[in-house]
C-alpha cells in the first residue's frame, strides 16, 4: 500500500509545470482585477461627495434652527444685555450685548443666505420674533425659506 502511494506521488511530481494542478492566479488575472478595482474607486468618490455635502447642509440647517430656538428661549429671561443672531456673508454669530460673540458658525461651501435687509434675528421678552420676514437660504442642491410669521413665536424652514 505504501509503494502505491509513493508511485502516484512520484508520477505527479514528474509532470511538467504546465500540466501540474495549480491553485493560484496568473499575473494577467491579478492585473485585470486590480484595474477593475481602480476604475471603481475612481468613480466612487465623486458620487459619495455629493451625499456628504447634502448631509453637511442638513446639519447646518439643524444647527441654525437650534441656535434660533436658543435665542428665543433666552429672550424670556430678564437680562440687560440683548441676545441675537447676526447674519454675515460667510458666517453667522450669536452675539450677547453689543459686540460680545458667544459663537460663530461658518456656512458650508456654496451656501448663500439672503436676509433681505436686516441681518439681525432677535425676539422680544415674550419670545415673539421682531421684524417677521422670510430669509432665503440657497445651497448647491436646493433652496430653503426660513419663515418668521407675524405674531407667531415659532418659525419653520421650508424647502422649495
Reported as a single tens digit per residue, the pLDDT across 68-111 is: 998 888 887 766 778 899 999 999 999 988 878 889 999 998 89
- As for how many domains the chain has, the answer is 1
- 25 within domain boundaries: no
Q: Answer with the residue of higher pLDDT: 25 or 84.
A: 84
Residue 59: give its domain's CATH number.
3.55.40.10
Task: Tell me the whole-structure pTM to 2 decimals.
Answer: 0.69
**Rounded CA separation 153/160 (Å):** 22
- 73 within domain boundaries: yes
Q: Answer with the residue of higher pLDDT: 126 or 57.
A: 57
Percent of the chain with pLDDT over 90: 38
- 122 within domain boundaries: yes
- CB atoms under 10 Å from CB of 93, counted, come to 17
- 129 within domain boundaries: yes
C-alpha cell at position 27 = 499575473
- pLDDT band for 48, please (50, 70, 90 cuts): confident
- 22 within domain boundaries: no
- 138 within domain boundaries: yes
**Rounded CA separation 21/28 (Å):** 18
- 5 within domain boundaries: no
- 8 within domain boundaries: no
Q: Which domain holds residue 54?
A: 50-159
Amino acid at each position: 500500500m505504501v509503494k502505491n502511494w509513493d508511485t502516484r506521488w512520484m508520477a505527479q511530481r514528474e509532470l511538467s509545470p504546465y500540466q501540474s494542478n495549480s491553485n493560484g492566479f496568473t499575473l494577467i488575472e491579478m492585473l485585470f482585477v486590480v484595474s477593475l478595482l481602480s476604475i471603481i474607486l475612481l468613480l466612487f468618490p465623486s458620487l459619495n461627495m455629493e451625499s456628504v455635502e447634502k448631509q453637511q447642509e442638513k446639519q447646518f440647517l439643524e444647527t441654525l434652527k437650534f441656535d434660533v430656538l436658543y435665542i428665543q428661549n433666552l429672550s424670556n429671561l430678564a437680562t440687560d444685555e440683548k441676545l441675537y443672531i447676526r447674519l454675515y456673508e460667510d458666517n453667522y454669530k450669536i452675539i450677547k450685548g453689543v459686540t460680545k460673540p458667544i459663537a460663530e458658525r461658518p456656512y458650508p461651501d456654496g451656501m448663500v443666505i439672503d436676509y433681505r435687509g436686516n441681518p439681525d434675528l432677535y425676539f422680544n421678552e415674550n419670545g415673539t420674533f421682531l421684524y417677521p420676514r422670510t430669509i432665503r437660504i440657497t445651497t448647491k442642491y436646493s433652496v430653503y425659506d426660513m419663515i418668521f410669521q407675524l405674531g407667531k413665536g415659532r418659525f419653520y424652514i421650508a424647502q422649495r
